[in-house]
Amino acid sequence: MPKIKNTQNKRQKPDWLKTKIPQGKSYLQVKEIVNKHKLHTICTNGNCPNIHECWGLGTATLMILGDICTRSCKFCAVKTGKPEPADWDEPNRVAESVKLMKLKHCVLTSVDRDDLPDGGSGIWAETIKAIKKVSLNTTIEALIPDFLGKVEHIKKVIDARPEVISHNLETIERITPEIRSVANYRRSLEVIKFISNSGITSKSGIMAGFGETEDEVYQTMDDLLKAGCKVFTIGQYLQPTSNHLPVVEFVTPETFEKYKQTGLQKGFKFVESSPLVRSSYHAEKHV
């Protein structure tokens, strides 16, 4: 299989990938609290193009367990290296911030913490419990790492009872070894299956533009449905920096619409599919 080669030259973005400048009262309120409480968000750390819309609607994706990942996936804008020690005061700080932000829906995610014996699952569980304790009307989606496939760690998150648990495949099976540094396609499917069997709504997403074919996208849909996945997201991969993998193709809005209609016909409850979709886009609808 030919490898995806890097390049110093970014491809010119088409018009449909242009985004609005963040603004609005709700957006500014969330931004102020995030900065004041020194919170990490995937909205900012991951350069999400939908930050203006989500923050403006009272939805935010908070990143726990620091902002340094132990893995080095070739698509991801999050820093990689040696993380700081786990902070057991973090769950309460995050919960109070969610309350102050008056979030209707909170998506939690984290860096991979392969350095910790439990992969960070203990802080994951405590953060979910803390939010539920102080912000009763806030629904929660947990966008979790694979925890190296260790079910005892995944179960800690399940037992905290977020409304949705998500784990992203990121790409189709053929390209997975090229872009994910540790994660494994089949192991990720087993994680999703374990979540599905718990009775909690399971969710997953991939990026398009790495050179995948339409048939490979449809096969990925079938694999996820077989694992019990209920919600599927797919959006355009955008190269964060010149040190990351280049975009092979800018997939057209028409193709994304085709993916959406096919996914719904196949049996997903929700499909979010468009160039600017990210895994937490419209997450409040998936509860």
User: Which residue type occupies 127?
Assistant: T
Beta strands in 77-196 (DSSP E): 79-80, 105-110, 139-143, 164-166
Is position 4 within any domain?
no
User: Residue 87: its pLDDT value, please?
Assistant: 94
pTM of the model: 0.84
Is position 14 within any domain?
no
In percent, the amount of the chain with pLDDT more than 90 equals: 67
pLDDT in tens, 179-206: 999 999 999 999 999 999 999 999 999 9
pLDDT for residue 146 is more than 90: yes
What is the residue range of 147's domain? 19-286
Is position 82 within any domain?
yes
The mean pLDDT of the chain is: 86
Is position 136 within any domain?
yes
Tell me the average pLDDT across 82-100: 93
pLDDT in tens, 220-264: 999 999 999 999 999 999 998 888 999 999 999 999 999 999 999
Compute the CA torsion angle 157, 232, 268, 144 (nearest 10 deg).
Answer: -10
Is position 190 within any domain?
yes
pLDDT in tens, 1-58: 445 544 444 567 777 666 555 555 555 666 666 666 556 654 444 445 555 555 555 5
User: Residue 241: its pLDDT value, please?
Assistant: 87
Q: Are 24 and 52 in contact (CB under 8 A)?
A: yes
Is position 151 within any domain?
yes
Query: Nearest CA to 6 among 246, 250, 249?
Result: 246
Q: Are 41 and 60 in contact (CB under 8 A)?
A: yes
Is position 11 within any domain?
no
User: Residue 9: its pLDDT value, please?
Assistant: 47
Is position 209 within any domain?
yes
Q: How many domains does the chain have?
A: 1
CATH number for the domain harbouring residue 183? 3.20.20.70
pLDDT for residue 80 is more than 90: yes
